[in-house]
Chains A and B, each alone.
Chain A
Amino acid sequence: MLSKESLALIDAEIAKYPAEQKQSAVMGALRIAQTEQGWLKPELIEFVAAYLEMPAIAAYEVATFYNMYDTQPVGRHKITVCTNLPCALMGANEIAEHLKQKLGIGFGETTEDGRFTLKEGECMGACGDAPMCLHNNHKMHTRLTPEKLDELLDGLE
């Protein structure tokens, strides 16, 4: 269900923990699985659980507890905007509004062509560089302006 490369990455996660504590690698393993396949369908979560020799329900609990895991399909590009207070004071709501206008969708929605999903995020721990967004969970774009956002969106297929 996962590529050889992804399985090797998961093995490297497993190696960080005591041999009898494979479950500790579940956060890394789900992240690796999601990065490869876009989102975590139930069969993928079950596969990861089996690989780590843990109950599927326990992996499912993790996938649904932490909000960067997607247990529903998302667009090719997931844009998460922090709108928490420090970001809001520094213009995050204007940035969010610009994104909604430009993409024609609201928070929690995906464009019809499957290109973009927009999400509202909570504190990303980079408030000094607000406003900011995450692209597909891992790439942070900081000190955003409408122009910088346009440039970012236009560069994504």
Chain B
Amino acid sequence: MSLLTPTPQVCSWTQALDKPASLETYVANGGYQALRRIVTEKVPGDDIIAELKTSALRGRGGAGFPTGLKWSFMPRAFPGDKYIVCNSDEGEPGTFKDRDILRYNPHQLIEGMAIAGYVLGARVGYNYIHGEIFEVYESFERALQEARAAGFLGDELFGTDFSFQLHAHHGYGAYICGEETALLESIEGKKGQPRFKPPFPASFGLYGKPTTINNTETLASVPWIVQHGGQAFLELGKPNNGGSKLFSVSGHVNRPGNYEVPLGTPFSELLEMAGGVRNGHKLKAVIPGGSSAPVLPGEIMMDCTMDFDSIARAGSMLGSGALIVMDETVCMVRALERLSYFYHEESCGQCTPCREGTGWMYRIIHRIEHGQGRAEDLELLNSVAGNIGGHTICALGDAAAMPVQSFLKHFGGEFAYHVEHKRCMV
């Protein structure tokens, strides 16, 4: 495996090699060639953005926004400071793919960020890493040192006038900082409370300067696309869903872990790669895109392919590509209770509907789970969820509401049984 052959292991190819994270391994297999070529040949940034648009690379952090389009929003000709920021604040329950990129292929991310710096006119970048994976933050700092020493980061790279500095910044326990404007506030040394948009970061970002923020996997895919072209990346996946994607599979499977497969791969194949449902149990439900994505019953998932459009048609979101698999032993009331506690705990407190509503929803689900549910509770839950969604500055409110609404939609009978019989039916 190497970066020189267009395999579907876009981000995970180094894992088949000795010392996967080392600079030596990366360079020996084609690493930093794409950066060197565009910088020394002075390839116009517009050409790279055109390749990204052709590739149909969509943001891997959760929103699935087309990356080429996002880059085109940046005022590249603006003469002042501009920034490229990587969002490695991976804390969406079920998601653990960026951690593996940072652990096993940090240089592909560094190269991707340097390419972004070149294209977008940013001379400084920051990679914001989830605080709980502090050892990974430390190993990424070491990778940065290696890249600086080898002349892939720093002043006047490859003897040209292009300079790019890259630094790591760590979080310290706040889910909300995965929201891009909260993340910017956090880099500025403040509480991570999201900003009202507009203005968007492309015009008013870090320190008020034009800023582009992309997910780790998104930026790590860029060197592959520059190396092999947008068309090759598109052809790995399917139209409007270019490339491969890392899927994090957790919960009731025999082999939890990350699997990088082409977008459009049937869910059933992915489940099989993860060893199938544990103990031969029956599949009950899957949350297909991180805990904020609406839950889907197992039988609906078995008809889905793993891409943005298929999962959206089924009524959920591909999100971050994190699949939380639940077998027939799971009590859906208890599962939702835990998720709702999480959103209540992590609400930043800025917007009233989210701050108050997440606690309200948690308390209702808690009493249903503990045999004190009331007949009107299911309607009340839907009403509270409906009054949070769309009424907050950032998407955490929607993220808290969607699980509630989808659990009730698909598994409402279990909730009604809990209310009526004061106990679980599972």
Chain A residues at the B interface, C-beta cutoff of 8 Å: 16-18, 21, 23-28, 30-31, 52, 54, 58, 61-62, 65-69, 83-86, 88-90, 121-130, 134, 137-140
The answer to whether B96 and A127 touch across the interface, beta carbons within 8 angstroms, is: yes
Residue of A30, A69, A128 near B248 (CB, 8 A) is A128
Chain A residues with CB below 8 A from B93, complex form: 84-86, 122-123, 127
Considering only CB atoms, which chain A residue lies closest to B167 in the complex? A16
The answer to whether A126 and B186 touch across the interface, beta carbons within 8 angstroms, is: no
The answer to whether A90 and B170 touch across the interface, beta carbons within 8 angstroms, is: no
Given A58-B190, A125-B98; A83-B91 close (CB under 8 Å): no
CA distance A82 to B100 in the complex (A): 19
Chain B residues with CB below 8 A from A16, complex form: 126, 167-169
Chain A residues with CB below 8 A from B330, complex form: 89
Give the total of B residues in contact with A, Cβ under 8 Å: 55
**B353, CB-defined interface residue at 8 Å:** no
- Between B96, B175, B322, the greatest number of chain A beta carbons within 10 A of the residue's beta carbon is seen for B96
The answer to whether A25 and B251 touch across the interface, beta carbons within 8 angstroms, is: no
Given A24-B188, A86-B251; A139-B174 close (CB under 8 Å): no
The answer to whether A123 and B324 touch across the interface, beta carbons within 8 angstroms, is: no
Considering only CB atoms, which chain B residue lies closest to A65 in the complex? B191
**B120, CB-defined interface residue at 8 Å:** no
CA distance A84 to B326 in the complex (A): 14
The answer to whether B338 and A88 touch across the interface, beta carbons within 8 angstroms, is: yes
The answer to whether A126 and B96 touch across the interface, beta carbons within 8 angstroms, is: yes
CA distance A23 to B169 in the complex (A): 13
CA distance A23 to B186 in the complex (A): 10
The answer to whether A27 and B256 touch across the interface, beta carbons within 8 angstroms, is: no
Residue of B90, B252, B291 near A125 (CB, 8 A) is B90
CA distance A121 to B134 in the complex (A): 15
Per-residue CB proximity of B251-288 to A under 8 Å, as 1/0?
11000111000000000000000000000000000000
Question: Which 8 A-B pairs rank lowest in CB-CB distance, beginning with the nearest?
Answer: A23-B189, A68-B173, A124-B132, A67-B173, A86-B250, A66-B172, A16-B167, A127-B250
Considering only CB atoms, which chain A residue lies closest to B166 in the complex? A16
**B61, CB-defined interface residue at 8 Å:** no
Stretch at the interface among B2-10, B339-347, B383-391: B339-347
Residue of A21, A27, A85 near B207 (CB, 8 A) is A21
Given A27-B170, A84-B338; A124-B133 close (CB under 8 Å): yes
